[in-house]
Structure formats: structure tokens, C-alpha cells
């Protein structure tokens, strides 16, 4: 599996005078950005799934690690939205049943 399998790869630099540093050591940084219509969680999951295969083909002296991952906050936000949606649906059903019970002829 290659990076091109999960992303569009361009061999270029934005600024030739930039230096990559990670935890105070020189590093090669690979910054992955999603396109607007891409699913962030799916993209992160696919990249993380590809990392073990990539780790096997690079020399052992190279340390491969994820320096920054913003997907946990996105996952937490999505979980909160799902919980709010479930609570809202339950409350709507409860209110409809309550009004139906009160409005039923006796």
C-alpha cells in the first residue's frame, strides 16, 4: 500500500526555507489535509490503517510517529451530537404520547 492509494501526492515544497522539527529534533513532516467533501474520520482511519505497512518498508532507524491528530475532538463532537439527537427524539416521542393521552376522549 502506498500513500497514493489514500491521497493525492504532489512532489513539491511550499517554501524551500522551512525546516521540519518534531520534539526539538530535525524531522520530515508529512502534513495531511483533507479536501472539503472528504470524511475526516474515514480519512484518519485509512491513514492509520496504512501506517503499519509503511513502517515495514522504511528503514528501522527511521522513527515514524503521528505528531498531531485532531480527529479525537471531532469524534467527541460527533458523539455529543449523536447523544443530543437521541435525547431529542426520545423527548419528542414522550411529548407526543403525553398530548395523545391528555387529548384522548374519555
Q: How many CB atoms lie within 10 A of CB 51?
A: 13
Of the given ranges (24-28, 55-59, 94-98), which has the lowest mean pLDDT?
Answer: 24-28
Helix 71-103 vs helix 40-57: angle between axes, to the nearest 10 degrees?
A: 150
pLDDT single digits (tens) 45-88: 998 898 889 888 888 888 888 888 888 999 999 999 999 999 99
Residue 90 — very low, low, confident or very high, per pLDDT cuts 50/70/90?
very high
pTM: 0.60
Amino acid at each position: 500500500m502506498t500513500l497514493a492509494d489514500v491521497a493525492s501526492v504532489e512532489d513539491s515544497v511550499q517554501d524551500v526555507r522551512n525546516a521540519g522539527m518534531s520534539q526539538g529534533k530535525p524531522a520530515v513532516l508529512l502534513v495531511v489535509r483533507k479536501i472539503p467533501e472528504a470524511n475526516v474520520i474515514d480519512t484518519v482511519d485509512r491513514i492509520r490503517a496504512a501506517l503499519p505497512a509503511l513502517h515495514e518498508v522504511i528503514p528501522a532507524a527511521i522513527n515514524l510517529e503521528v505528531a498531531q491528530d485532531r480527529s479525537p475532538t471531532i469524534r467527541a463532537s460527533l458523539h455529543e451530537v449523536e447523544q443530543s439527537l437521541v435525547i431529542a427524539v426520545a423527548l419528542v416521542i414522550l411529548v407526543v404520547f403525553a398530548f395523545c393521552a391528555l387529548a384522548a376522549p374519555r
